[in-house]
Amino acid sequence: MKRAAPPAGIIMSRNLLDAETSPYLLLHKDNPVHWRPWGEAALQEAQEQNRPILLSVGYTACHWCHVMNEESFADPETAALMNELFIPIKVDREERPDIDQIYQTAANAMGTMGGWPLTMFLTPQGEPYFAGTYFPREQRFGQPPFRNVLQEVARVYHEQPEPVANAAARVQQAYTNLWGRDLRGQLSGAILDDVSLGIARKFDIFFGGTIGAPKFPTYGLIEILWRAYLRTGAEQFNQLVQTTMANICMGGVYDHLGGGLHRYSVDERWTVPHFEKMLYDNAQFIDLLTMMWQHNRVPTFRMRIEETIGWLLREMMVEHGFASALDADSEHEEGKYYVWSEAEIDAALAGTFVQKFKEVYNVRREGNFEGRNILHRIGPSISELSEADEALLARQRSTLLALREKRVKPMRDDKVLADWNGLMIAALANAGAVFRNTAWTHAAVRAFDFIERALGDGDRLYHSWREGRRQHTGFADDYAQMARAAFTLWETTSDKRYFERARAWVHTLNDHFWDGQNGGYFYTPDDSDPLIFRSRTVFDQATPAANGVMVSLLARMHLATWDRSYRERCNALVEAFSGEPARAYTSMASYLIGLDVVMTGLQIVVVGSLTSPKTHELVGAVMGRSLPNRTLVLADPGDALIEGHPAYGKKMENGHPTAYICQRETCSAPITNPVALSQALQLPLRAAGRA
């Protein structure tokens, strides 16, 4: 039975995106398309007018989102068709990751790879029945013109209700299979070693990263290999990680002039990037390099950390928080801001031994990217240069950066997101402690205070803030990452207010996100506006999944306090997804990292006055070792640890600040010498059972 067509001539009055704060949505506010933001009003409008919904999801730094905007959404004829046949809704996937997650999953269930721009066609109730991504205005790349798609998809909705209903039912079944079923199972005691070997087999031994192209810096998988090396001492793991990070640090995916990492490389050698810069990528980059530098003191790693934090503090500050991203495009060209012709290099560096720069950074007359050059150091130039050579190159880079600053810059998405800021705050706090850089620690503290003030509401969080307006109820990722940031600040500053804030946000997760039937945390709270399904996932995307992050955090909060409620919730969380690692380990790195913390977690308790230089020498010895599973507790001699804690009753030895290394409810003999402490922390630690 056909559905009635919408009444002829009823067209929405105007584009409503001018009231939004998202830079991505505001890019579309002048479209002739009568866009609506996602919300109850738009859904009600679709139901009242019996119009299907055209849902378009993208983000500011997305190149093909801009292309589709310029080709189709800015075109009056296409816009008129969209307005006539659909209720058009525009979503910023960074501002509403819940909506993006729901409909990306639907696209995959319907046989589309997904990605951005995501173009979904929904019933007025929000049920998906046709999926796509980028559609060209005219027939191209084997794809039909967007206008043809619009007409056909609208016709199917009104004339063929059965296939529409069948498509919606298939998607609901996919949701149930992925998010709604019991995922518990048996975990092998050898799971960490088994998955580490499996991941290693998927890595490129020549260039690092997973085999093939494009290459994303899959930080979670790289960290699993690094942890496997620390745990086992097997050199093969170390070699894969070193190869990966050396090529990332030397490749074109890294911005050698301004610092910071681009999103990914389109080739297997890390030479040609997709040029957007994302806050979350750079936070994970800093964290991983810091972890590696603690072990091997590679000068390049320290330099990349310093340069990337320099870029962050120079270009990404929004008040005291951090912006989300820099666009890939400038002047409507991808990468134009970052690439150079040989003639430009020659002119800018004339009289400074320009040939040396061109040799090291692979500058060629013919270029390596559409006739121009992406600066990189992969190849013969990766070999060690003299200090004089490196000093010369630093001056030359500074000259080129000053010249580049005069170009038209890529657009900055200056919305502040709680979860991405949490990632960066934790990375900055840890790096500040490791490198004893108080400026970085202070930046982390200021950012944390800003997020707490701008996005906090008692023990609840909002997700997004821009220009004084906060929006959207916080998601599980927001609480997990900000609680992790608070815990890291507590470890590195000893300020108890951070631990109390971490405790409060964890309690909010437990109260409003926990799945009482299957275990694990839902992505959305129990009091948010409902979507067509409430997701619960352990699979990482570009950022770690909250359920994985919380395994680590709950284990460490238990180690810090010996509060059994954290151990019990941690074990329940491990159990909730215990049937998945053998099948899907490459997608759940954060969960496996959490298992590593559970199985080999260390408590390092330093008893001593917080103002004593000797106390900080012991802390420095701890920070000088790559110990990703450590929980560091600084205990003033007057503060008693909870009874039952392995270090309960431990005191200073002969009046000197003293360290105790505790694992599996047993503590070491007292250690007062920082050199002896550093040596004691050197040995690999094998896995035990659960927390």
**Does 508 score more than 50 pLDDT?**
yes
Give helix 418-434 / helix 476-493 axis angle, nearest 10°: 20
Q: Is 220 exposed, middle or buried (0-12, 13-18, 19+ CB in 10 A)?
A: buried
Same domain as 402, residue 264:
yes
User: In this predicted structure, what is the pLDDT of residue 688?
Assistant: 40
- Interval 369-427: pLDDT, tens: 999 999 999 875 455 788 999 999 999 999 999 999 999 999 999 999 999 999 999 99
Closest CA to 589 of 219, 179, 186, 208: 219
**How many domains does the chain contain in total?**
3
Could you tell me where the beta strands, DSSP code E, fall in 551-612? 602-607
Assigned domain for 480 exists: no
Same domain as 213, residue 77:
no
**Does 1 score more than 60 pLDDT?**
no
C-beta of residue 511 within 8 angstroms of C-beta of residue 503: no
Q: What percent of the chain has pLDDT over 70?
A: 96
Once rounded to an integer, what is the mean pLDDT over residues 442-452?
Answer: 98
Kindly tell me the sign of the dihedral angle through the C-alpha atoms of 680, 682, 687, 691.
Answer: positive
The whole domain housing 660 covers 601-680
Same domain as 240, residue 165:
no
User: In this predicted structure, what is the pLDDT of residue 89?
Assistant: 98
Structure confidence at residue 533 as a pLDDT band (50, 70, 90): very high
Same domain as 59, residue 155:
yes
Same domain as 218, residue 170:
no
CA distance 494 to 491: 6
Assigned domain for 426 exists: no
Assigned domain for 57 exists: yes
Same domain as 228, residue 99:
no
User: In this predicted structure, what is the pLDDT of residue 9?
Assistant: 46
3-state secondary structure of 233: coil
**Letter string b/e over residues 125-136, b meaning 16 or more CB atoms within 10 A of that residue's CB:** ebbbbbbbbbbb
Kindly tell me the sign of the dihedral angle through the C-alpha atoms of 368, 374, 378, 380.
Answer: positive
Same domain as 209, residue 78:
no
Kindly tell me the sign of the dihedral angle through the C-alpha atoms of 49, 51, 57, 63.
Answer: negative
Same domain as 334, residue 279:
yes
CB neighbours of residue 455 within 10 Å: 24
Structure confidence at residue 643 as a pLDDT band (50, 70, 90): confident
- Interval 315-328: pLDDT, tens: 999 999 999 999 99
Assigned domain for 446 exists: no
Q: What is the CATH number of the domain that holds 70?
A: 3.40.30.10
Q: Which of 127, 147, 180 corresponds to the end of one domain?
A: 180
Same domain as 236, residue 113:
no
**Does 284 score more than 80 pLDDT?**
yes
Structure confidence at residue 3 as a pLDDT band (50, 70, 90): low
Structure confidence at residue 684 as a pLDDT band (50, 70, 90): low
Q: Which of 396, 414, 432 corresponds to the end of one domain?
A: 414
Assigned domain for 341 exists: yes
Phi first, then psi: what are they for 143, rounded to 5°?
Answer: -105, 145
Assigned domain for 516 exists: no
Q: In this structure, what DSSP letter does residue 353 have?
A: -
Same domain as 22, residue 128:
yes
Q: Which of 180, 214, 243 corresponds to the end of one domain?
A: 180
Contacts of 214 (CB under 8 A, 6+ apart): 264, 265, 266, 267, 274
- Interval 103-159: pLDDT, tens: 999 999 999 988 999 999 999 999 999 999 999 998 877 788 999 999 999 999 999
Name the β-bridge partners of 671. 659
C-beta of residue 650 within 8 angstroms of C-beta of residue 607: yes
Assigned domain for 369 exists: yes
Same domain as 388, residue 255:
yes
User: In this predicted structure, what is the pLDDT of residue 629?
Assistant: 96
Same domain as 330, residue 251:
yes
- Interval 555-573: pLDDT, tens: 999 999 999 999 999 999 9
Kindly tell me the sign of the dihedral angle through the C-alpha atoms of 300, 305, 308, 309.
Answer: negative
Question: What's the chain's average pLDDT?
Answer: 94
User: In this predicted structure, what is the pLDDT of residue 466?
Assistant: 97
* Helix runs in 297-386, H state only: 299-315, 342-348, 354-360
CA distance 170 to 445: 47
Assigned domain for 169 exists: yes
